[in-house]
Chains A and B, each alone.
Chain A
Amino acid sequence: MSDDIILDIRNVTKTFPGVVALNDVSMQIKRGEIHGLCGENGAGKSTLMKILSGVYPYGTYEGTILYDGMELKLQEGSIQQAMKEGIAIVYQELTLVPNMTVGENVYLGKEPTEGGLINWNKVYSDTRKILAKYKLDVAPQVLVKELGVGKMQMVEIAKALSENAKILILDEPTSALNEAEIEKLMEILETLKSHGVTCIYISHKLNEFFRITDTVTVLRDGKAIISKPTSELTQEDLVRYMVGREMKERFPKRERHPGEVIFEVKNLHATDPADPSRKVLKGVNLQLRKGEILGIAGLMGSGRTELVTTIFGEYGKITEGSIVLEGKELKINSAHEAMLQGISLVPEDRKRQGLVLMQTIVKNVSLPNLDKFAAFFRINSAAEYSAASQQAKNLAIKAPNLDVEAETLSGGNQQKVVIAKWLLSNPKVLIMDDPTRGIDVGAKFEIYKLMNELAEKGVSIIMISSDLEEVLGMSDRIMVMCGGVSSPTLELEEATREYIMKLATGVA
C-alpha cells in the first residue's frame, strides 16, 4: 500500500428487515486526513457511523473493516470499547449534561479515581491540558448550561478526544452553529489535523467540504458512489453524485409579484418572560407584503427566533410597539390566538417543538386544527384522514402510510409533516424558523418549491435561515437581526453575503 490507510472499509453490507441500508460499501480513509462524507438523509451515513462506533456490533453486518491493519471487532453496545480503540464520535445532537461543569462532562463515565474517590484536581487539570492542546477556548470549571452552542460543541470535541482518539467522527457539527462559530470549528479541525488526528466529517453544507476536507466520499442509497480528493471536485459534482441527477438550480425559480403590505411590526420591544429585566427585542420593524418571502438573517442569539415566537404569542412580553395585520392591531397571547388571526409558525426545532414524535402522521397534522374536524365533542376521523392525506399528497410526504409514527420518518419528511400541519390552518402569514435545517439537498429543494407555490398563491412568508445562500436564493427582500434590533429591509440588489454578515455581526 502506497498510502498510509488507517481505516479500510471493505464490502460492508448492512440490512434491516426489508431495507438495505448499506450495500457493499468500500472506502479507505488515510491517516491524518479530513475525510468528508456526504449524502442525502437515508443514504446510509448514520448507519456507517453506527457500525464504526459499535452501536451495530461486529457480526450484525457483512464485510470487513480494517483499523490500523487489524480487523475491527466491536462488541454489542461497546461505545466505550470503540473509544478505547481510539474511535470517537461527536453526534449532531449535543450530549452534554447542562448542570455539570465542562470538566465533569469531559470525564463523564471515565473519571480518574484515587482509592474509590474521584480525583477532581486531575479531572480539571487534564481537561485544561486537552483544551489547551487543541486550542479550545473554554474554561474547565464553567457550567455547560452557561455556554453558547458553539462552545458546547468544543466541549463535545474535548470529551471525544479525552481518550487519545485517533479517529474523530463529526456528524453534522455545524448544523446549529453560526458563521463565526463555524469558522472557529474549522480552525479547531486544522489544529486536530496538525496533531495527527484523522477526521471523518459529515455535513449537509457542501461548501464546508471545500473549506476543510482532503477527500470526499459520496453515499447514495446505501452505496459509495465516489471517493475523490476534494481538489478534483466542484459543488455541482457533489450535488450530482448525491441526487444521481443533474440539479441545475439549488433554488427553484418563481414569478415574483408581491402585493400590498398586509403585515407589519412597528418598533417592537419585548422582554424575556422568565426574566423581565432582560430585553430580547429592542426595536424591530418589518413590513411583509402579500405573496412575498421575507428572509430574516442573523446569528444565533440575535433575537430572530425571539422575534417570531413573540409575534406568535408564545414568548416575549411586549413592552412597546405594535403588530398589525391587514390594518388591524393585534394583541396575541397564545399560539391559539395567533392561529385564529391567520398566523402560523413552523418552529425551529422540529423534533422538540414541531412534532409529537410517538404519534402518527395524521395525528400530528391535525393537532392544531382539531377544531375544524370536531362537531360538539366528536372528532370526525374520516374528515381528519382525508384532510391529512390531501396535505401529504400536496407535500409529497414519503411514508408507507399515514398511520406510521412521525419518529420513523426521515428529517425532510418530518419537516414536511410540520409544514403540513401548519398549512392546514390556512395561514395568511406563514413564519418558518430555519425550515431546512438538517435536511438533505433533495428535500430542501422540495421545500423551496413548496414555499414558492405558497407565495404565488398569496401566502406571505417570513423565513428565518442560518444559511446565507438560502436567504439570498429564496427571499424577495431581506432583513437582518443583530442584538435584538432589526436592520432596514434590504432589496435583493443591495444584499450581498458580505453586507449581510456585516449587519449580522454589528459591523455595519
Chain B
Amino acid sequence: MAVMPEIKKPDEELGLLGELSKRFRQNMQTYTIILALIGIWVFFAVLTKGSFLSAQNFSNLFRQMTVTSFLAIGMVLVIVTAGIDLSVGKAAGFVSVMVAFLQARFWVQTIPIENPIVMAILSVIIGIIIGVIFGALQGSIIAYLRVPPFIVTLGGLFIARGLILWRTEGKTIPANQVGFDYIAQGYLPDLVGWIIAALVVVFLFFSMFTGRQRKRQYGVDVPNFAYDILLTSFFSALVLVYVFVVNQYKGVQVPVALLAVASVIMSYVASNTRFGRYTYAIGGNREAARLSGINIKKTLFMVYTVMGLLVGVGGVVLASYVGYGTIAAGEGYELDAIASAILGGTSPTGGSGTIFGALIGALIMSSLTTGLQMLNVQPYVQYLVKGVVLVLAVLLDVAFKKGKA
C-alpha cells in the first residue's frame, strides 16, 4: 500500500476542467461504452451513406430494443447480487402468449366482456401479474430454499417453454384487441412529445438545483456549478434532440416512452432506496452485508420478484410488438438481456452495474443487428460480430482495471 497523499480540496476549487477530468476518471467505464456506441453509429452511418441515422431507422432502432431492454434493466440487479436469471426470455414469451390467449379466447368464451379496451387492459394487468408470480416463485426458491439461481432459473426456462406449448397447443394466437397494438406500435403526437421533453428538461434543472440546495443545507461539498450546469444541459439537449429526430418520422414511440419511465424508476430504486443499496452491498460482500443487519433472503426474493415484474411488462410489450403469441416467443431474449447488462458494465461477479449502462449495452446490440442487416450482411456474421464485441468489451474492461491497479 502506497502513501496516501492527504489532499482535501473542496470540489468548488477544482474548477470546471478539474471536475470534468475527475468525473471522467470515476466513470471511465460508462464513458467508454458511450464512445463505443457513437463509434458504431458513425461506422454504420458512413457505410450506409447516412441512411443508418435517418429518422425512420433511428426510430426503429430504439423501438426494436425495448423488449430486451426491459429484461436487461431487471437483469442488472440480478447480476449485481452475483446471480443470473436464465428464464426471462421464455417467461416473457409465456406472458405474451397468455396476453394473446386472454384477448383472443378467454374474454370471448369464458367471461364475456364486450368492450375491447377493457379486454386489453385486463389482459395487460393479468400478464404483468403472471410475470410477478413467476419471478416471486423463483425468488423464494433461490432466497429461502437456497437453490442456486442458475439451476432454479434454468428449470424456470424449461417450465416456461412447457407452459407456452401447453397454452398455444403449437399454434399462433393473435393479440389484436383494439388499442392493444398501441403499446408497442403506437407513437405520441408531436406536440405531446415536445411537452414531455419540456417537462423532463424542467425537472432535470429543478432537481439539480434542489440537490445543490440540500447539499448546502447539510454542509456537504457541492460540485462545481459550471459542471452541474454543463451536465444537466447535456442531458436536456439529448432529450430534445431525440424528440426532434423521432418527430421527423412518426413521433415518440410509446414503448420507448414506457422503457424510459421504467428505467428512471429502476435507476432511482437502485441508487436511492434501501432495497437498491442492500442489493449492491449483498453483491459486493455478502458476509459484510449480513453482519450489517441486512435481511439477505428478503432482498434476494425482492430482486427476483422485481425481475418478474419487468418480465411481465416485457412480455406485454412483446405481444403487442409481434401482434401474436407464438411458440418461439422470447426465444433467446435472456441471452440478449444478459449480454446488454454485461456490455453496459455490470460486473459478472456482482457488486456493480448500472441501469443506464445496460440501456447503452442494449442499444449497442440493437445497433449492431440493424446496421449489419442494412449492409446485407448474412445473419451468421451478425452473431459472430455480437459474440466478438461482447468478449472484446469485457476484455477491454479487464485491461482497464489492470492498468488502474
Alpha-carbon gap, A422 to B351, bound state (A)? 22
A21 interface residue (CB < 8 Å to B): yes
When A and B form their complex, what is the total count of cross-chain residue pairs whose Cβ atoms lie within 8 Å?
130
Contact of A356 among B1, B289, B295 (CB under 8 A): B289
Chain A residues near B221 (CB-CB < 8 A) = 401
Contact of A368 among B4, B219, B293, B295 (CB under 8 A): B293
A377 touches B273 (CB 8 A): yes
Q: Output the least CB separation between B283 and chain A (Å).
A: 9
A401 touches B281 (CB 8 A): no
Which residue in chain B gives the minimum CB-CB distance to A388? B220
A367 touches B292 (CB 8 A): yes
A508 interface residue (CB < 8 Å to B): no
B220 touches A357 (CB 8 A): no
B280 touches A359 (CB 8 A): yes
Given known pairs A400-B8, A421-B292, the reply for A374 and B284 (CB within 8 Å) is no
Stretch from B148-156, B160-168, B186-194, B210-218 that touches the partner? B210-218
Size class of the contact patch on chain A? 35 or more
B293 touches A335 (CB 8 A): yes
Indicate with 1 or 0, residue by residue over A343-367, a CB within 8 angstroms of chain B CB atoms. Answer: 0010100001111111100010011
B2 touches A379 (CB 8 A): no
A67 interface residue (CB < 8 Å to B): no
Indicate with 1 or 0, residue by residue over B1-22, a CB within 8 angstroms of chain A CB atoms. Answer: 1111111100000000000000
Q: Output the least CB separation between A223 and chain B (Å).
A: 11
Given known pairs A19-B5, A381-B272, A389-B220, the reply for A334 and B284 (CB within 8 Å) is no
B377 interface residue (CB < 8 Å to A): no
A368 touches B7 (CB 8 A): no
B207 interface residue (CB < 8 Å to A): no
Chain A residues near B5 (CB-CB < 8 A) = 18-19, 400
Indicate with 1 or 0, residue by residue over A36-73, a CB within 8 angstroms of chain B CB atoms. Answer: 00000111101100000000000000000000000000
B285 interface residue (CB < 8 Å to A): yes
Interface centre among B26, B221, B277 (most CB of A within 10 A): B277
Alpha-carbon gap, A174 to B284, bound state (A)? 28
A335 touches B288 (CB 8 A): no
A221 interface residue (CB < 8 Å to B): yes
Alpha-carbon gap, A386 to B218, bound state (A)? 6
Given known pairs A334-B293, A368-B293, A379-B273, the reply for A399 and B4 (CB within 8 Å) is yes
Q: How many residues of chain B are within 8 Å of chain A by beta carbon? A: 38
A374 touches B7 (CB 8 A): no
B290 interface residue (CB < 8 Å to A): yes
Given known pairs A358-B352, A371-B274, A385-B215, the reply for A353 and B288 (CB within 8 Å) is yes
B287 interface residue (CB < 8 Å to A): yes
Chain B positions 1-50 with a Cβ under 8 Å from a chain A Cβ: 1-8, 26
Chain A residues near B215 (CB-CB < 8 A) = 382, 385
Q: Output the least CB separation between A372 and chain B (Å).
A: 11
A265 interface residue (CB < 8 Å to B): no
With A353-B288, A356-B284, A410-B1 already in contact, 19 other A-B pairs whose C-beta atoms are closer than 8 Å? A18-B5, A44-B2, A46-B1, A312-B291, A335-B290, A338-B293, A339-B293, A345-B291, A347-B288, A353-B291, A359-B281, A359-B351, A368-B293, A370-B277, A382-B215, A386-B219, A400-B4, A409-B4, A413-B4
B residues with CB within 8 A of A? 1-8, 26, 211, 214-215, 217-221, 269, 272-274, 277-278, 280-281, 284-285, 287-295, 351-352
19 A-B pairs with CB atoms under 8 Å apart are A19-B3, A46-B1, A221-B3, A222-B3, A336-B293, A352-B288, A356-B288, A363-B277, A363-B280, A367-B277, A377-B269, A379-B272, A382-B211, A382-B214, A382-B215, A385-B215, A385-B220, A400-B4, A410-B1
